[in-house]
């Protein structure tokens, strides 16, 4: 049920489409709880809060209208609602809330959740009453690096690539009604040679009836199957597709997968999920899309938005970012240190953008970091493995949170274990265990090499050296980050596809603009547009002249706060004409 006057009114989950839902975005009451006394004083019920906030924007965002002078570690949200879908079970969903949440309905605790990126789902039917209901959410978000937080600055320390923090609800809040046993998730795996689509359906609990799947194009069924679930919590159904039209960035063709739970001939639950038929494989030193070698032209995308910060102001802004990425000549985005709103993935599916899905990191290796990261990563892989656009999983970046894995076995074991876990959850995509350097496990050999990053040797020399010798240094001894080898002892990525997954990073401000001291970019700053163009062309030529590379990721799509190395400004205005940027960046690749 759509209410267009509220922010972000669209259906928030692109998969598992159901006929009705109630969007609870909009104005909430807000209370700061600096002394953490709300629980002892009974704030969970029957108390109005003086502050106001617009959900789903985080408290730091202008569009949230929170206007807090200082954001404390604990805050409370409250709103009343009457409209409510009714069924055997009523579910309350919060797309994401940073970081630790407890949800109350009419004073009753209906769920607790740890994690700032994965979705929250609570059963609330038992707590509802006729007429007006009260929803209260307590959120705790301490500034600590012992939890996954991506690029959110924490405490007194702030690196040159950290940004302002994010607190509270930052994705849509909504209600839906489902039957006693419902479809919980649907994901697929396509075998190009066999022309077979494997459909995996998960249920909320064991299902004693049947499950039926229908692959449809324009309302016409092109393949279907039905089988007994045998009381299990999930089922698998293969479908042969006689004349498949494959999904690719050049032709992002989607089909509809309709799934039913059946009790005899009675449809108990039904959902629809968009599906793209495509296969991603690693074969020797090649990355294959639908059986053909693929050279990736990617861009680093931080996922911050004007006005809404972590949250796009509208669904149209999410679509615009995907369109701009494609217009710049890229066919891939590495969503960096953020698990993005599923609506962005929806547009990547529909507009043909390959996506590297990356887990936000912590910085301090602790038991808390390890357990929280594994729990959230598992939930995010399950959330996003249905998307055709998602082509790779990246659980760690540049050893963040596992700084000492070169000499501490427990840290290396975490990286290798998460790689194995990811493959178990989804064997259909490559896993990049630790992007950038210190390869220990994974399916691609990835390097972060910038021109002018205070290391010796030209860009071309360094790339070629690391391709030839994975035991060499990406970052030399004595650097502020400490020595970082391309691969750890005992790990050999030399036969894997090699990709340069961070490069570029050229800073630029318009001529005459005063450059504050804390601005960050790599190398010297071009003085004017002509010098910027020359610099981009030079780096592009170097990348193209390394035939061993199977792709690159350019840093970065937009400026964000002090990091001014975007191809676009934060307001999405290009620093050079888009056509010119497309010519330069879209032309990077093998010669001849």
pLDDT of 35 higher than 50 = yes
Task: Report whether 322 contacts 302 (CB < 8 A).
Answer: no
What pLDDT does residue 19 have? 78
List C-alpha distances in Å: 453 to 102, 208, 469, 564. Answer: 44, 60, 20, 15
Q: What is the CATH number of domain 287-585?
A: 3.20.20.80
pLDDT tens digits along 20-29: 899 999 999 9
What's the mean pLDDT in 256-272?
A: 97
In the chain, CATH 2.60.120.260 sits at: 22-178
- 52 token code pair: 């106001």
Answer whether 419's CB lies under 8 Å from 488's CB.
no
Q: Where in the chain is the domain with CATH 3.20.20.80?
A: 287-585
d(CA 38, CA 401): 32
Rg (CA), the chain: 24
Identify the CA nearest to 457 among candidates 466, 447, 445: 466
- Residue 170's nearest CA partner among 305, 359, 29 is 305
pLDDT at site 488 = 97
Output the pLDDT for position 3: 44
In this model, does residue 591 exceed pLDDT 80? no
Q: Which residues, 6 or more positions from 239, have their beta carbon under 8 angstroms from its beta carbon?
A: 196, 197, 198, 199, 213, 215, 223, 224, 225
- Classified by CATH at the fold level, domain 183-275 comes out as Immunoglobulin-like (2.60.40)
What's the pLDDT tens digit per position in 324-354? 999 999 999 999 999 999 999 999 999 999 9
Q: Say which residue, 458 or 67, is predicted with more confidence.
A: 67
Q: What is the mean pLDDT of residues 88-94?
A: 96
Sorting pLDDT into bands at 50, 70 and 90, what band is 453? Answer: low
To which CATH superfamily is domain 22-178 assigned?
Galactose-binding domain-like (2.60.120.260)
Structure tokens belonging to residue 540: 């592009």
Look up residue 67 and give its two tokens: 């206007």
Q: What value does the mean pLDDT take over residues 490-494? A: 95
Distance CA 26, CA 28 (A): 6
The pLDDT of residue 271 is above 60 = yes
Mean pLDDT across 162-190: 97
Write down the pTM of the prediction. Answer: 0.96
Q: Say how many C-beta atoms besides its own lie within 10 A of residue 575's C-beta.
A: 20
CATH 2.60.40.10 residue ranges for the chain: 183-275
Check residue 2 and give its pLDDT.
38
- Kindly indicate the confidence band of residue 233, based on its pLDDT and cuts at 50, 70 and 90: very high
Beta bridge partners of 273: 257
pLDDT at site 518: 85
Residues 227-238 have a mean pLDDT of 97
Task: State residue 451's pLDDT score.
Answer: 84
């Amino acid at each position: 049920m759509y209410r267009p006057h509220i922010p972000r009114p669209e259906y928030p989950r692109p998969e598992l489409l159901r006929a009705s839902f109630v969007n609870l975005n909009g104005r909430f009451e807000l209370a700061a709880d600096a002394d953490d006394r709300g629980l002892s004083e009974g704030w969970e019920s029957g108390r109005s809060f003086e502050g106001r906030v617009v959900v789903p924007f985080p408290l730091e965002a202008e569009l949230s209208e929170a206007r807090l002078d200082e954001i404390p570690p604990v805050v409370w949200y409250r709103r009343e609602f009457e409209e409510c879908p009714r069924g055997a079970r009523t579910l309350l969903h919060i797309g994401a809330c940073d970081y630790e949440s407890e949800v109350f309905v009419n004073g009753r605790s209906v769920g607790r959740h740890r994690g700032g990126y994965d979705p929250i789902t609570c059963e609330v039917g038992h707590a509802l009453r006729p007429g007006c209901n009260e929803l209260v959410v307590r959120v705790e978000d301490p500034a600590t690096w012992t939890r996954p937080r991506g690029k959110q600055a924490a405490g007194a320390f702030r690196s040159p690539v950290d940004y302002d923090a994010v607190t509270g609800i930052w994705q849509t809040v909504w209600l839906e009604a489902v039957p006693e046993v419902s479809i919980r998730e649907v994901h697929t795996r396509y075998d190009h040679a066999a022309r077979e689509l494997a459909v995996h359906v998960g249920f909320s609990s064991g299902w004693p009836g049947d499950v039926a799947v229908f692959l449809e194009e324009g309302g016409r069924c092109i393949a279907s199957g039905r089988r007994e679930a045998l009381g299990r919590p999930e089922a698998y159904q293969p479908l042969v597709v006689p004349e498949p039209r494959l999904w690719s960035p050049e032709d992002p063709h989607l089909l509809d997968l309709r799934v039913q739970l059946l009790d005899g001939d009675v449809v108990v639950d039904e959902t629809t999920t968009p599906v793209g038929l495509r296969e991603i494989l690693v074969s020797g030193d090649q990355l294959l899309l639908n059986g053909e070698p693929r050279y990736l032209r990617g861009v680093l995308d931080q996922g911050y938005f004007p006005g809404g910060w972590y949250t796009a102001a509208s669904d149209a802004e999410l679509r615009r970012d995907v369109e701009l990425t494609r217009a710049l000549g890229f066919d891939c985005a590495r969503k960096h240190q953020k698990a993005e709103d599923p609506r962005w993935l929806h547009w990547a599916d529909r507009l043909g953008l390959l996506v590297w899905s990356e887990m936000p990191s912590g910085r301090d290796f602790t038991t808390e970091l390890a357990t929280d990261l594994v729990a959230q990563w598992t939930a995010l892989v399950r959330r996003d493995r249905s998307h055709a656009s998602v082509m790779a999983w990246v659980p760690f970046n540049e050893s963040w949170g596992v700084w000492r894995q070169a000499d501490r076995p427990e840290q290396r074991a975490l990286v290798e274990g998460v790689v194995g876990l990811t493959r178990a959850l989804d064997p259909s995509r490559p896993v990049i265990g630790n992007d950038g350097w210190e390869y220990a496990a994974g399916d691609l050999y990835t390097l972060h090499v910038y021109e002018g990053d205070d290391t010796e040797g030209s860009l071309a020399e360094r790339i070629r050296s690391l391709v030839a010798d994975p035991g060499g240094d990406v970052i030399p001894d004595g650097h502020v980050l400490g020595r970082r080898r391309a691969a750890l002892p005992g790990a050999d990525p030399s036969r894997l596809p090699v990709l340069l997954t961070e490069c570029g990073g050229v800073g630029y401000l318009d001529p005459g603009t005063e450059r504050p001291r804390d601005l960050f970019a790599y190398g010297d700053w071009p003085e004017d547009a002509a010098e910027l163009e020359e610099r981009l062309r030079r780096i592009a030529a170097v990348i193209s002249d390394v035939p061993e590379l199977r792709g690159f990721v350019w840093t970065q799509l937009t400026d964000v706060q002090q990091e001014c190395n975007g191809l676009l400004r934060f307001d999405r205005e290009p620093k050079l004409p888009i056509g010119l940027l497309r010519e330069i960046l879209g032309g990077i690749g093998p010669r001849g």
